[in-house]
Amino acid sequence: MKRKMIGGFSFIEILIVIGIIGILSAIIIYAFSGLRDSFLLRGEKGRVISLANDARTKTLSSQNDTAYGIHFDADQAVLFAGGTYATGTIGNEVLLLDDRIEISSIDLFGGGSDILFKRLTGETDQIGTVEIQIIGNASSTEVITINSNGGIE
């Protein structure tokens, strides 16, 4: 009686293929998570810049005959009216950052965590930088620069 060889894969070959697929999947997922974090960080930076530009625009247009500014906390930026920031004031526009993002450093001339724009010119004395980053990942950082003419980059 002759034995016929039946083609197929052995258990070891199947395990090797599954292992290779697992390693490739892990590499791809890791690369995409870094890309996702990068897009998230840039998006949050854009939202903060937009809020600051709104404050400057409201100041330049003399909305409500007052100056506007931005206050920074670790997890939020707040657009406020008047010369000083007060927590919980009606009319404050609070921009909560994504749970994975934090404001890690505020380095403004004169210290503090507020930028106040001057009426008529839109300039500010609080020049400097504000850094935002992915929480727990200091290498994923974006810098917002505030210059003396009130420009935000």
* CATH number of the domain that residue 134 is part of: 3.55.40
Largest CA-CA distance found in the chain, in angstroms, rounded: 103
How many helices and strands in the chain, by DSSP H and E? 1, 7
Nearest in space to 75 (alpha carbons), one of 112, 100, 56: 100
Structural domain includes residue 152: no
pLDDT tens for each residue of 17-69: 999 999 999 988 887 877 888 899 999 999 999 999 999 999 999 888 999 99
Listed in order, strand segments (DSSP E) in the chain are 68-73, 76-81, 93-96, 101-108, 114-116, 128-134, 137-146
CA atoms within 13 A on the CB side of 84: 2
- Kindly indicate the confidence band of residue 3, based on its pLDDT and cuts at 50, 70 and 90: low
Q: Rg for the chain (alpha carbons), in Å?
A: 26
The number of distinct structural domains making up the chain is 1
**What tens digit of pLDDT does each residue of 89-141 get?**
888 999 999 999 999 999 998 888 999 999 889 899 999 999 999 988 777 88
Q: Does any domain span residue 1?
A: no
Range of the domain at 39: 12-146
Residue 71 in domain = yes
Contact partners, residue 127, CB within 8 Å, separation at least 6 = 108, 109, 146, 147, 148
Whole-prediction pTM value? 0.80
